[in-house]
Amino acid sequence: MMKKMAEFIIVLCGVLFWLVFPVRAADTVKVGVVSVLSGPLATIGNGEAWSAEMAVNDFGTVLGKKIELVKRDHAYNPGVANEKAKELYEKEKVDMIVACPNSAAALAIAQQALLHKKPFISTSAGTTDLIGKQCNRYVIKWNYNDYMLATTVGLWGAEHLGKKWYTITSDYAWGHDLLKHFTAALQKKGGIHVGNDMVALQTADYSPYILNAMKAKPDVLVLLNVGPDTTNSTKAAVQYGLKKTCKIVHALLFEPNMKGAGTEIFADDYVAGSWNWRVDNPGAREYTEKYMKKYGERPHFMAAAVYSATWQYLEAVKRAKTTDPEAVIKALEGHTFRDMFANPGYIRPEDHMQIAKAYLLRAKRPEEVKEKEDYFEIVGTVPAEEAYGPAGQFGCKMKGF
Partner 1 sequence: MDYHFIFIQLFNGLILGSIYVLLSLGLTVVFGTLGVVNFAHGALYMLGAYTAYSIVTLLNLHFIVAILLCPIIVGVIGILLERFLISKLYKLPHFYTLLLTFGIMFFIQDAIKIIYGPEGEPFNIPKFLDGAVNLGFVVYPKYRLFIILITGFLAIGVWIFIGKTKLGAIIRAGTDDSETADALGINISRTFTLVFGMGAALAGLAGVIAAPTQDVQPLMGMNFLVETFVVVIIGGMGSIGGSILAGLIIGELVTLGIIFWPPMSTTLIYIFMAVVLIVKPRGFWGRAAFFE
Which of the ranges 28-36, 77-85, 131-139, 200-208 carries the binding residues for partner 1, by CB under 8 A?
200-208
Distances (CA, A) of 371 to 50, 260, 376: 22, 17, 11
Compute the distance between CA of residue 388 and CA of residue 390 in angstroms, rounded to an integer: 7
Q: Residues near 397 by Cβ (< 8 Å), separated by ≥ 6?
A: 135
Q: Does 294 bind partner 1 (CB under 8 A)?
A: no
Q: Does 32 bind partner 1 (CB under 8 A)?
A: no
Q: Does 232 bind partner 1 (CB under 8 A)?
A: yes
Q: How far is the CB of 338 from partner 1 (least distance, A)?
A: 32
What part of residues 249-278 is at the interface with partner 1 (CB under 8 A)? 256-257, 259-262, 264-265
CA angle 140, 52, 344 (to 5 degrees): 55
Q: Does 197 bind partner 1 (CB under 8 A)?
A: yes
Q: How far is the CB of 297 from partner 1 (least distance, A)?
A: 8
**Options 188, 189, 215, 365; binder of partner 1; rule CB under 8 A:** 215
> Which one, 197 or 377, has the nearer CB to partner 1?
197
Q: Does 245 bind partner 1 (CB under 8 A)?
A: no
Q: How far is the CB of 57 from partner 1 (least distance, A)?
A: 23
Distances (CA, A) of 398 to 114, 136, 138, 349, 351: 11, 5, 9, 9, 7
Distances (CA, A) of 56 to 49, 182, 240: 11, 36, 47
> Which one, 124 or 310, has the nearer CB to partner 1?
124
Number of amino acids touching partner 1 (CB under 8 A):
36
- Burial code (b: 16+ CB inside 10 Å, e: under 16) for 207-222 equals eebbeebbebebbbbb
Site string for partner 1, 149-178 (x = CB under 8 A): ----------------------x-------
Helix (H/G/I), strand (E/B), else coil: 330? helix
DSSP 274-303: S--TTS--TTHHHHHHHHHHHHSS---HHH
> Which one, 256 or 345, has the nearer CB to partner 1?
256
Q: Does 202 bind partner 1 (CB under 8 A)?
A: yes
Cβ–Cβ < 8 Å for 124, 48:
yes
Q: Does 77 bind partner 1 (CB under 8 A)?
A: no
Residues of this chain that bind partner 1 (CB under 8 A): 39-40, 42-43, 46, 171, 197-200, 202-205, 207-209, 211-212, 215, 228, 231-232, 235-236, 239-241, 256-257, 259-262, 264-265
